[in-house]
């Protein structure tokens, strides 16, 4: 198993891409109404969350300004958990907040670890 550690940098990029795609999909639903149209009122809390998910999700996906975008998304997911899920109960498995909770920590990890080798950030550092 110790041989797998050589894949750690690449898997950081894979984690970033997967998390970016996931959060981006929520932003496209709220703002672009794709693939299904949720229509939060413009200026509402859900609309602002969708804007952050859309913009920061795209940045995380390509690995541009990853640390800043991931930090914002981590805070957004923490906010979502405490505003929307925590009032329904303490345990994430029961209050529906499991995804928000794990994404909060995934984005926090990305804010600390960076984008990985397969990213625009890595290409910009080499230039």
Q: Which two structure tokens, joined as six digits, stand for 57?
A: 């999700």
Among candidates 10, 25, 27, 124, which has minimal Cα distance to 66? 124
pTM given for the model:
0.94
What does the pLDDT look like over 55-64, one tens digit per residue? 999 999 999 9
- Provide the pLDDT confidence category of residue 127 given band limits of 50, 70 and 90: confident
Q: How far apart are CA 17 and CA 74, in angstroms?
A: 15
- Provide the pLDDT confidence category of residue 38 given band limits of 50, 70 and 90: confident
Terminal-to-terminal C-alpha distance of the chain = 35
* Predicted pLDDT of residue 105: 98
What does the pLDDT look like over 41-93, one tens digit per residue? 999 999 999 999 999 999 999 999 999 999 999 999 999 999 999 999 999 99
């Amino acid at each position: 198993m110790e041989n797998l550690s050589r894949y750690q940098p690449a898997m950081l990029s894979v984690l970033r891409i997967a998390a970016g795609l996931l959060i981006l999909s929520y932003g496209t639903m709220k703002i672009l109404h794709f693939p299904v149209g949720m229509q939060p009122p413009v200026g509402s809390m859900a609309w602002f969350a969708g804007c952050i998910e859309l913009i920061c999700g795209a940045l995380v996906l390509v690995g541009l300004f990853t640390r800043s975008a991931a930090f914002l998304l981590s805070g957004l997911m923490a906010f979502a958990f405490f505003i929307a899920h925590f009032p329904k109960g303490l345990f994430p498995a029961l209050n529906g907040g499991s995804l928000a909770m794990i994404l909060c920590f995934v984005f926090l990890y990305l804010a600390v670890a960076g984008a990985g080798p397969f990213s625009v950030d890595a290409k910009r550092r080499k230039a």
